[in-house]
Chain A
Amino acid sequence: MNADSLDSLKKVFANAMVLLWVIFLVFLVCVPWGISNLAFVTPQIALIAVFYFSVYKEEYFGLLSAFFCGLVADVVLVMPLGSNALAYALLFFLSDRLRRFIAGKPFYITWIEFSILTLLVLLFQWLFVSLIYKQFISLTPIMISLALLVPCYPLVARVCYAISKIAMEEEK
């Protein structure tokens, strides 16, 4: 095996690791935790990973990967096909385009920016699902789910940072 193909293999491995991590986060939402008040508003923590990798590690996680993870979420969350896929892709696209306003800023600024972008994406998803159902669905559970998602950002972003570090080392 020559050096080029070995490098490509390492790159594929690093990308797969990041992709599997995001899919793991998608799955994590689906586990029956048995917590009574959480049963209706579990936050989609995979959105944090999509945001993080689109801003800081785009080389490991592209727009197509975000779309694919969204499709997986649609299948396991039993949602209209494409609703999560588009939401994940939109979050990736927005944060990728706004990278220069996000990357390199103090942590709390990034955190606020994540909250705003996720709010926009969830509103888009709400509109999209409402259009499919041909009537507006309740916004309250969506807002509660966002309120639960935002405090999870520091922890999940920290793990994403660790994952990307491992991926980088694998690539080397």
Chain B
Amino acid sequence: MKIAKGAKTWLSGVKFLLRRFSLLFLVMLTFGLMLLAKADNLVFQFGKKVAVEVLVPTMYVLFTPISGFFSFVDEVKEVASLREMNQQLKEENQRLSRIKAKLHNLEIENQRLTELLNYKKPPDTKSVAARVIIDPAGAFAQSLVVMAGENDGISKGDVVMTGEGLVGRVAYVTPNVSQILLLSDFNSRVPVFVGDKEYRAILAGNNTEKLRLIAFPDKAEINVGDKVITSGDGGVFPFGLIVGYVHSKKDDVISVLPSADRSRLEFVSIINFGLKGILEDVKCKE
């Protein structure tokens, strides 16, 4: 009887302490979780994978009707401008036909030169199209989540693009879900070439629409409208992917507008260029 009473008192003491120092306890718990994440603890990683695998598809199912409604509105708008679009597409088709003929000649020329130089081709690329299901749009982080993962052949570090240009890279992948770190994220750094003279620079995200150009040569003549493409340095992104255009230049602050419109990212291509780069050693933000 005495033991039971003692245990009861002890339990209420613990309860009191927990209630009194609840916030402190949660702060400690947070730091514990962060340490586990940093240490790449296996159990923790498994727990995170399970959480992502459960939460993301749940969200997808829950919000499909809402996304469907917005797609429907977009489709209605498209139908309204069908005639105009048809004319534009005809012109585009003619332009593409000319480019196709040119490409065919270039391909033949390239093949001959390749044979001549005994050039070793880079490995073939593998591409997966995926639908964007989460666009968190936070002020603290810029990322996307797509409903395709390891089971579809996606791996960490794969390049994410749209027809308009580079979007980002895969930062975290589970069997059915991938998280993409966008170019606009604060942690994103992409080695690029700027303009026709191909000045080397680094494109840095700052959680806003426009990206910052840093580490460019002092005497670089960079102008508004200059094209920005990946340089391939570091081996994370291949050479020549379109990133965007120089949008403004004030003293030494140069901002770049990405080619891929963030608000229209419904589908993306996730491409494995066979590059591992620095990602094998450096962990992505998780």
Contact = CB atoms under 8 A, between A and B. Distances in A.
The yes or no verdict on A and B being binding partners is yes
Interface stretch (B107-115, B149-157, B260-268): B260-268
Contact of B23 (A63, A75, A145): A63
A32 B138 contact: no
A3 interface: no
Interface string A76-108: 111111110110011001000000000000000
Interface stretch (B26-34, B79-87, B94-102, B228-236): B26-34
B282 interface: no
Given A40-B137, A90-B23, A75 B55 contact: yes
Interface in B41-99: 48, 51-52, 55-56, 59, 62-63, 66-67, 70, 74
Interface stretch (A49-57, A133-141, A162-170): A133-141
A5 interface: no
Nearest to A143: B139
Nearest to A139: B139
Give the size category of A's interface with B. Answer: 35 or more
Given A27-B62, A27-B63, A31-B67, A82 B263 contact: no
A137 B207 contact: yes
Contacts of A31: 63, 66-67, 134-135
Given A39-B263, A81-B34, A76 B134 contact: yes
A79 B74 contact: no
Interface in A96-142: 125-126, 129, 132-133, 137-138, 140-142
Contacts of A41: 137, 139
A60 interface: no
B272 interface: no
Nearest to A142: B139
A65 B15 CA distance: 17
Chain B residues touching A, range: 35 or more
B99 to A, nearest CB: 29
Nearest to A33: B70
Contacts of A93: 22-23
Contacts of B286: 81
A64 B30 CA distance: 12
Given A34-B263, A75-B52, A40 B26 contact: no
B59 A76 contact: yes
Interface in B272-286: 285-286
A75 B172 CA distance: 11
A156 B48 CA distance: 30
A30 B132 CA distance: 11
Contacts of A44: 138
Nearest to B52: A75
Given A40-B262, A129-B140, A133-B186, A75 B207 contact: no
B179 interface: yes
Given A42-B137, A86-B26, A141-B139, A80 B56 contact: no
Given A36-B264, A81-B48, 18 more contacts: A27-B59, A29-B136, A30-B136, A31-B66, A32-B134, A38-B137, A40-B137, A42-B137, A75-B51, A76-B55, A76-B56, A77-B143, A80-B141, A83-B140, A93-B22, A93-B23, A132-B34, A133-B187
Top 5 closest A-B pairs, CB basis? A82-B30, A36-B263, A32-B135, A141-B139, A42-B137
Interface of B: 22-23, 26-27, 29-31, 33-34, 37, 48, 51-52, 55-56, 59, 62-63, 66-67, 70, 74, 132-143, 145, 171-172, 179, 184, 186-187, 206-209, 261-266, 285-286
